[in-house]
Amino acid sequence: MIATAQILCLSLWLLGSADQDRPAGTSRPDYVVGPQDVLTITVFEEPQLTGRYTVSADGALTFPMVGRVGASGLTLRGIEDKLTKLLADGYLKNPQVSVEVEQYRSQSVTVTGEVRSPGKYMMTGQMTLLDALVQAGSVTALASTEVQIMRPRTGASAGAAAEILKVEITDLQAGKLSQNVTLRDGDTVFVPKAQPVFVTGQVRSPGAYAVQRGMTVLQALSLAGGVSDRGSSRRIKLIRIVNGKKRESTVKLTDLVQPGDTIVVPQRFF
């Protein structure tokens, strides 16, 4: 089982760090605007120009006095600069323009698999893997430690099979934030279900449990509630399929387990 609480706490810390210099309720000035985004444009002391403007499918918005203005592909600051120059060209003296996003509609990522709230999430600026997992409610107890990011090909490679990036969440927990991939519009984050180890016999909660990398027999038994009062920690058997054949062996508590293994805890003899 992944330490979900650790992932969530780390994710929230990252989100807070990224936004700590941005006043609450404002948009990121580096956000890249796209079609269908709804913008609030304010022109100081010009109420007739101030209002909500939707970026059309062709990437432009219609603004009073200056007409159609290309907005798609520009940052909020870039649109501010563009409108300021256009309005200053014979319309207003020293115009002051502010642009914010009222509704994010143009860019999104999809989070699916073993997360609490799978779905499509709008990108409100730069979004990382951990940002997306936080928005999806974090991973479930059955999640694998490996997350896959499926990224559509663009440019000359458009139409080819998607690029697949793989990230170990345990690396992020260990502080390797270089693995916190920055997502792109159209990415799909897939959290697969972990391959289980089966624990049976004289344990408190027999069943299937997610395998972490480097998991030992003792750790697997702990997930199953530990050895019951009637069980013995000696002569524990491990059943493993190797090349299609079942192999059974006696293991120590420090031995490593693999996905698909079955651990059998025998009854204690009095």
Domain residue spans in the chain? 4-21+107-191, 38-103, 196-265
Average pLDDT over residues 110-115: 96
Distance from C-alpha of 25 to C-alpha of 76, rounded to nearest angstrom = 15
Residue-level pLDDT at 4: 42
When the pLDDT of each residue in the chain is averaged and rounded to a whole number, the result is: 87
Residue 10, number of CB atoms within 10 A of its CB? 20
Distance from C-alpha of 50 to C-alpha of 42, rounded to nearest angstrom = 4
Residue-level pLDDT at 1: 45
Residue-level pLDDT at 158: 66
Among residues 165, 179, 151, which one has the least CA distance to residue 7? 179
Residue 26 has pLDDT above 70, yes or no: no
Distance from C-alpha of 78 to C-alpha of 30, rounded to nearest angstrom = 9
Residue-level pLDDT at 212: 79
Q: Give the model's confidence band at 99: pLDDT under 50 very low, under 70 low, under 90 confident, else very high.
A: very high
Residue-level pLDDT at 270: 67
Lowest mean pLDDT across 17-31, 94-108, 141-155: 17-31
Domain 38-103 has what CATH class?
A: alpha beta
Lowest mean pLDDT across 4-8, 37-41, 162-166, 242-246: 4-8
Superfamily of domain 4-21+107-191: Outer membrane lipoprotein wza domain like (3.10.560.10)
Average pLDDT over residues 136-165: 85
C-alpha distances (whole Å) from 64 to each of 75, 84, 186 are 20, 13, 33
Give 151-184 pLDDT, tens digit per residue: 998 776 667 788 999 998 888 878 888 889 999 9
Please indicate whether the domains covering 4-21+107-191 and 196-265 agree at the CATH topology level.
yes
Distance from C-alpha of 179 to C-alpha of 168, rounded to nearest angstrom = 8
Lowest mean pLDDT across 2-16, 40-54, 209-223: 2-16
Give 119-132 pLDDT, tens digit per residue: 999 998 889 999 99
Residue 6, number of CB atoms within 10 A of its CB? 14
Q: Tell me the H-state helices in the chain.
A: 4-19, 76-88, 129-135, 169-173, 217-223
Among residues 103, 86, 93, 89, which one has the least CA distance to residue 46? 93
Residue 47 has pLDDT above 80, yes or no: yes
Residue-level pLDDT at 119: 97
Chain position carrying tokens 């391959």? 195
Distance from C-alpha of 203 to C-alpha of 22, rounded to nearest angstrom = 52
**What amino acid occupies position 145?**
T
Give 183-239 pLDDT, tens digit per residue: 999 999 999 988 899 999 999 999 998 887 789 999 999 999 999 999 999 899 999
The architecture of the domain spanning 196-265 is: Roll (3.10)
Number of H helices, E strands in the chain: 5, 15
